[in-house]
Structure 1
Amino acid sequence: MTDNERVELNELISALVDERASDTERARLGEMLAASEEARRFYVRSMAMSASLFERAGEMQSERPEPKSVIAFPAWSRWIAPLAAAAAVMFGIWIARSFLGPNQPGTAEEQPESVAHLSGSKDCKWIGAALASGDDLARGRRLELESGFAEITFDSGAQITLTGPATLDLRSAWEAELQRGTLRANVPPSAVGFRVVNAAVEVVDLGTEFSMTAEEGGVAEVFVLKGAVEVQPRDQGGASSGQPRSVLREKQARRFAKTGASDVRDRDKKFQRFTAKIVVERMAHPLNYTRWSFDEGAGDIAAAVSNGVTNSKIHLGKNSHGDSQWTEGRFGGALKFSGQSAVQTKLSGAAARGTRSIAAWVRLPADPTLSGAQPFLALPLNHPPQSWAEFSWNSLPGEGVLGALRMQTRQGAAIGTTSLRDGKWHHVAAIFSTPAKKANKQHTKLYVDGRLESFSLKPGAHRGPGGMPASLAGTLWLGGQPGSSTGVMMALDELLLVDRPLSSPEIRHLMQTNQIISAESLAGN
């Protein structure tokens, strides 16, 4: 969306809530919501936050003045109770579908073994088995920190710094439960909707930094350092208390207990403590990579660089359509496929031994035909042996969002939630891991535009053959089904293969800067 479109959308939402929107304005709002996922997210977020602000207005009038909010919405003079209730319901649906994704598995067997990793630490003393920077953290794991500081990075991109003594339960890539102690959460836009819960309150992040303290007796305090959070008090049994949700904004804080919500004592002193910078130590994890930038711009060879050494050249061959195979990319040049047969190259070095992460920029035509949904990339993974992956856009609405990123393996398919069929560049990434106790299983995570969209493989009605196709043995295919005489219509840029799983911050940084970075380079990012 452009800035002008965002302004127009904001004005249309304001007119709708004020009950002054004309039929033309309502139709225009419907068009914008149907055409843009960003518009739909903004609409639901605006309605949900405004509903919370309305419900809390009376309570706020009786409290001492709070610092002025940095979140400004139109001055809506009237409100309707059903609209507030609908907004709350829509907000729940939005969180569940947009951020957990329609592919959220329903059984523990399908859930990923790892949902986060220990990305940094300082003077940590653990209760139980010690942890080291880089260790994967499984869903359902309890972390008990006796002293020191531990930085946990979730696969969703959310990052928590835990201050000991503290106890934290990892529920998923999108949720943690603070049993006791203090944490500070930094949540990028790609992880909006991340939740921290405990016996007294549920905190849903709306794009912010916040701190939270929890006492074992069922008392919690929430401090918003930047942005905003939505809070829902809980009853003595840990369920939603029935009290309305409310929004806390920058420099606001609340205390939650069994007796209800109240102001925080010594708030300014606590804010000063929570805003102090915590420097943790990070371990650099070396990586081997193969990368095609597609910046040649001419000729019929695209060369790759592997850790600074040129190799794995792709011979493009003759273009039977007579048009250029090169086009303007997301960074520099890009490779364009116009329906000709797929091209291939033998993998060497780390890429030949097995790929654990793959990332690229892709641009598909707006609304391509369903017949154009054949794979645009296929390669062997070798973890586990004879495993492989094909990437395309999803043409089966019964299995997921039409046009979303689809990754097919012999075990099933993983499908994202963002349609790629819009003629725009999208950054896509896939992470592959093999559970320590299940060598023949494979866990996959898909990221689109820096956001985690899928973390499960589902069998579905369409899956690959039991063994790796002979044409994929040690070979990378681009632009169509391996061996097919016809291919896809698309553009591809900055293709990267890595021999270890990339973290969410690494993927986000790669997307934003086009730079391959080490773990220590992420300090403070």
Structure 2
Amino acid sequence: MNSHYDELIAAYLAGDDVEQALIKACEDDETLLAELSQQVAFSRVVAFALYAKNDQMFIDSFKSKLANEVNTQVIIAKTNNIQEITSNKATVIPTLFKGNLWQRYAIAACIALFSFLFIFYQYSYSPSLGLIAKVVEAESQKGMVYSGDNVAHGQFSLTKGYAEITLNNGVALLLEAPIRLNISSVEHITLVEGSLVAYVPDGAEGFQVDTPSSQIIDLGTEFGVSVDKKGKSQVHVLKGEVKVRASKKQEYEHLTVDQARSFDLDQQVAIIKSQPHRFMRTLPGKSIQDPDYLHWSLDRQKGANLPCQGKGINGQCFDAQRKSLIEGKVGPEFVQGKFGDAIYFNGEDDWLDTAYSGIGGNKPRTVAFWVKIPENFSAENSFGILSWGLMDKLAAWQISPNPNGDIGPIGRIRVGISHAVVVGTTDLRDSQWHHVAIVLFGGTNVNLSTHVLMYVDGKLEKTATKSIAKVLTDLDHPKSKPFAMGRNIAFNTNKNQKYKFFKGWLDEVYLFDSALTQKSIYNLMTFNQLTPNPKELNNKK
């Protein structure tokens, strides 16, 4: 082979734009393509070896890939996909096979080797397309998913929890389990099943989401997409604009904020009501390492006073007082609890009061506690496990077992008041202790439907109902009520006491001024403290 060909191959490997010259040279000399394939294959192997952590890893991985390529015809067939050699293979390939039989076999072998190594390298060491930015109890079939993990070309799935992916072009994808998708590039993904929200920043317009029944192309926006197990899909525009269609045979339709469409596998498109509350739109940031908090152990004490045992919020701690409507009665009674003693509320006339006004506005917060709800649960005795704020639309923060079947399943944990609620799915009406944690995390446009996570027994709770409602807990109104336990926020001594008191058991109440992580919630449930000492951890193991 002459020196001119050597220079062409070297220039090609260096990334220079010499493809057309190589095509012409291959037409003139049948041996050039074989030499080129050997050189490129060698270059790929060297690059692969540099990425490998050790020699044995390289050998084992290579053997594994080679064992899978048992069909030589498959390998040779894959040469039709090679774009690195030429974009005009119709003029090159026929020329290759003009020689004798031995030459044809030799060239075919070189092409097969190059094709295999190219595909092997491409699939084994695809560059990272982004990172997992945030997770909430996220798991895949392979195990736990962690923030900071790389996101590569190919399949990605979650069997549990939430994850936020940030692609290299700035596109953010918030995924809710169970979900399966294929990531083709930073500009294109396919949602096979599940729900996601895509936020596309300036400069990344044109981002595309395909589903089994639709195609969605962003025009600078935020949108939610869901796909059911049968392949039917929905798209809801949360901000900006997208264009959508059921198949390539149809024209695109433009959708703007608060518009939505559904698609089936028969390419039928239907106008549907926009339901942004169906989608989780943000995940909590990093928790404060040493947050302020209030803690009431509710252990047996003499008299009505129950001391606050937390570090305090803004340097202050607030004791709880046992209260009753019946003159001369001290208040709710002590019983055996999950950790030490607990409090039993009779659902008729007793509660616990504090002087703490609560956490106001849309500030982050976490409330965690143990609760036991009787099997003979009654709607009359359901409201007000914990509450504070103003009995007005969106102005209170109240946690109860849900008594209203029109809002959500009965007996599940519920946060909010009136029709602005989030309702879980775990039935708590079994007279057994359950650990409950409600997390509201901060950010922009804080909303019940997108900024609240609920945990039952340390596990992320799937929600049955989520209202679209801003969080505006009012502490400043003259009628705002301080933090109380066992009493409805609507309590008024001048009215009938029906629906005013909670009936059940309560223990180890924590109130934090920050959004806790799942790990911290697990520690509270397991060790009754945020940071257990090493001895307790070893005993648990």
TM-score by structure 2 length? 0.44
Specify which structure has the bigger relative contact order, considering alpha-carbon pairs within 8 angstroms and separated by 6 or more residues.
1
**Could you say which structure has the larger radius of gyration?**
2
